[in-house]
Amino acid sequence: MIRVLVVDDSALMRRKITDILASDSQIEVIDIAKTGNDAIKKVVHLKPDVVIMDIVMPDIDGLTALTYIMNEVPTPVVIISANVAPGSVNALKAVELGAVDTILKPSGEISVDIETLSKEIITKVKAASRVDVNRVQNFLNRISQYSKASAQKNSHLRHIVAIGASTGGPKAIKEILPYLSPEAEAAFLIVQHMPAAFTKSMAQRMDCISQIKVKEAEDGDIVEQGVAYVAPGDFHMAVSMENNIPTIRLNSDPKVHSVRPSVSVMMNSVAECFGNKTLGVLLTGMGQDGVEGMRNIKKVGGFTLAEDESTCVVFGMPRVAIQEGVVDKVIPLGYMGIEIMKHISR
């Protein structure tokens, strides 16, 4: 059984969310809490498998409670709130503080129609119960702040780094970025499985901690040295050579492995355009997206890295790639940024 603590200052919301969870035979609501302070005490005492929590509450708000929980008693938290619209500051802040996922209440703080999200709530609670939040917190603790250096534009790239990630990816990518130097003759393409509207905010926040420029990719962008391009949510990102200039193209082709953007779509195009200049990097995440792309990078003489199981929040995509024999080197996340720089500096 997945033991869940439900936290919301509305008695109606607590009851409705409890009823939704109770409808699944694998989930048990062990208690409820009305405030952030109450939630913290019950997490410490009851040690639930998952916490469902609102943001706006009396005394201690949900984000403050989340911060305490992740630092003192790391526990998977799913935020259900009217204040986590896709791309909003609160939504991204919740993920950065360690929340496994967020769910937007459909009609305000008191959403009498919350039952319309029953399937999503149950699915995300089950997914959260499988996440190792101790690893999430370790990633947060190791992220450093770096000042930005100006990147020199250069279309004559010696390397192209193709990075793919899913569950746990934003924190993993944030740990790698500070190591990447704008002086290296490389550009970086990033596919993170994330809904539309989240990716632009993610890119902006990552830009603040990185020496290289980080931006959400736009159709027609020229791939330049010292820049990282984040695939926008719900669009595949590919690179094509146009008049011998590497150019980013976005499309809404069918999903690959049930996702769009797809890591493999991006990696396949990079391998085709850059051949043995390509470095493929596969980070934490569920499923097998990216495995085909890593295989094609190796076929053209490129090099491939995968995150080690010991640091993955979910050892899914890297595990399949390693089992398929398409990974040249397996690296713990704490050393991944260093390894990338060693490879592109050779």
Answer yes or no: are the C-beta atoms of 114 and 81 closer than 8 Å: no
Instruction: Please write down the HEC assignment for all residues of 58-126.
Output: CCCCHHHHHHHHHHHCCCCEEEEECCCCCCCHHHHHHHHHCCCEEEECECECCCCCHHHHHHHHHHHHH
Catalytic residue among 9, 129, 193, 236: 193
Alpha carbon distance 96, 93 (integer Å): 5
- Annotated catalytic, 289? yes
- Residue 193 burial (CB < 10 Å; 0-12/13-18/19+)? buried
- Annotated catalytic, 166? yes
Alpha carbon distance 6, 31 (integer Å): 7
Alpha carbon distance 80, 61 (integer Å): 13
CB atoms within 10 A of CB 131: 21
Taking alpha carbons only, the member of 238, 240, 247, 230 closest to residue 196 is 230
- Annotated catalytic, 147? no
Catalytic residue among 101, 221, 289, 308: 289
Answer yes or no: are the C-beta atoms of 217 and 230 closer than 8 Å: yes
Q: Extract the tokens encoding 242.
A: 């146009």
Catalytic residue among 166, 262, 264, 269: 166
Active site positions, annotated: 166, 193, 289
